Structure 1
Amino acid sequence: MARAAPRTYPAELKAEFLRLVREREIISTVAHELGIHRPTAYAWARKAGISTSEARKVNPRREEFLRLRAAGLTRVEARARVGADARSATDWDKGITIINRGRVYPDGRVVRYPVKNNDSVPERRTRAIGGSVDLNVVEKIIHPRYLSLLEREQLQDLRRAGLSIRAIASEMRRAPSTISRELKRNTVSVRGYMPHTAHRLSVKHRARPRQAKLVANAELRSYVQGKLAKRWSPQQISHRLVKDFPTTPQMRASTETIYQAIYVHARGELTRELGKQLRRGRIARKPHKQPDARRPRFVDPMNSISNRPAEVDSRKVPGHWEGDLIIGALGGSAIATLVERSSRFVMLGHLGRERTAEAVRDSLITTVRHLPTSLRGTLTWDQGAEMAEHRAFTAATNFDVYFADAGAPWQRGSNENTNGLLRQYFPRGTDLAVHSVDKLLAVAEELNDRPRKSLDWDTPAERLSALLEVS
Structure 2
Amino acid sequence: MSNREAGQRVGVNERTGREWLHGRPGGRKKRPSAPARDTRAASASSRYLSEAERLHIADRFRERATVRAIAAELGRSPSTVSREIRRNGTAGRGNLWHYRPYAAQARAEARRLRPKRGKIDGNRELRDAVQTGLDERWSPEQICHALRKRFPDRPEMHVVHETVYQALYVQGRGELRRELAGALRTGRARRKPQRQANCRRPRFVAPMVMISDRPAEADDRAVPGHWEGDCILGRNNGSAIGTLVERTTRYVMLVHLPHGRTAEDMNAALHATIRTLPPHLTRSLTWDQGAEMAGHRAFSLATDIPVYFCDPGSPWQRGSNENTNGLLRQYFPKGTDLSVHTREHLDFVAAQLNNRPRKTLGWETPAERLSSALTA
TM-score of the superposed pair, with normalisation by structure 2? 0.47
Structure exhibiting the larger radius of gyration computed from Cα positions: 1
TM-score of the superposed pair, with normalisation by structure 1? 0.38
- Greater relative CO (CA pairs within 8 A, separation 6+): 2
